């Protein structure tokens, strides 16, 4: 290893988000879960291998305030790529990072974004990682309400 970052072997994912035909053909064969990665942490822990950053590391232009809009644009892309054959979502997991660093309404926007684009099963499992230091009373009230909306 010379310390130079390298792409893994294989074809890089196309910028269009396009999937191979055989992957699209298997759509609906199993449960459909969505993972939303929130890459922000208040501090970086030395033992952690997750893809996370502090706002100071990311520098100007990175903002927790802008994140929900960017993630919703990614959901738009996923919806376009998967098309009308996309099944209803069975699980939504918001991980990180520290998702509870996002404003509580933005976590709700993300969940509503999944529901609006794909539908959410009535018995869907919806969960988020959380740091107790950043869970506000408002977040603890509005997240369960948003998760149980029909
Ligand atoms: S994801 Fe958790 S363990 Fe990793 S840097 Fe953030 S707070 Fe630390």
CB of 65 closer than 8 Å to CB of 95: no
Report the candidate in 24, 29, 36 with the shortest Cα–Cα distance to residue 114.
36
Angle subtended at Cα 121 by Cα 28 and Cα 93, rounded to the nearest 5 degrees: 85
> What residue has token string 């929900």?
68
At residue 131, the pLDDT reads 87
* pLDDT one-digit tens code per residue, 18-54: 888 888 889 989 999 999 999 999 999 999 999 999 9
**Res. 61: pLDDT tops 60:** yes
Task: Report the separation in Å between the CA atom of 20 and the middle of ligand 1, taken as the mean of its atom positions.
Answer: 34
- Of 135 and 95, which is predicted with more confidence? 95
Cβ of 46 less than 6 Å from ligand 1:
no
- Of 126 and 3, which is predicted with more confidence? 126
Q: How many angstroms separate the Cα of 115 from the Cα of each of 27, 50, 54, 72?
A: 18, 27, 29, 11
CB of 126 closer than 8 Å to CB of 111: yes
**Res. 63: pLDDT tops 70:** yes
**Res. 150: pLDDT tops 70:** no
The number of beta carbons lying within 10 Å of the beta carbon of residue 16 is 9
Mean pLDDT of 78-98: 94
- Confidence band, pLDDT 50/70/90 cuts, at residue 145: confident
CA–CA gap between residue 30 and residue 73 (Å, rounded) = 25
CA–CA gap between residue 144 and residue 141 (Å, rounded) = 6
Q: Which atom of ligand 1 lies nearest, measured to the CA of 43?
A: 5
Ligand 1 pocket mutation pick from 49, 58, 96, 99 by most atoms within 8 angstroms of CB: 96
Residue nearest to atom 7 of ligand 1 (CA): 41
Report the candidate in 29, 46, 51 with the shortest Cα–Cα distance to residue 97.
51
CA–CA gap between residue 34 and residue 78 (Å, rounded) = 10
Cβ of 57 less than 6 Å from ligand 1:
no
């Amino acid at each position: 290893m010379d310390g130079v970052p390298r792409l893994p072997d294989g074809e890089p994912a196309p910028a269009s988000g396009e999937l191979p035909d055989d992957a699209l053909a298997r759509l609906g064969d199993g449960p459909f879960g969505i993972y939303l990665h929130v890459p922000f942490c208040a501090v970086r822990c030395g033992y952690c291998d997750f893809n996370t950053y502090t706002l100071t590391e990311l520098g100007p232009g990175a903002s927790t305030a802008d994140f929900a809009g960017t993630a919703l644009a990614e959901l738009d892309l996923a919806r376009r790529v998967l098309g009308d054959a996309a099944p209803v979502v069975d699980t939504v997991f918001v991980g990180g990072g520290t998702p509870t660093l996002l404003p509580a309404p933005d976590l709700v926007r993300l969940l509503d974004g999944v529901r609006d684009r794909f539908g959410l099963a009535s018995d869907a499992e919806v969960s988020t990682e959380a740091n107790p230091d950043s869970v506000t009373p408002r977040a603890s009230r509005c997240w369960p309400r948003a998760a149980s909306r029909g």
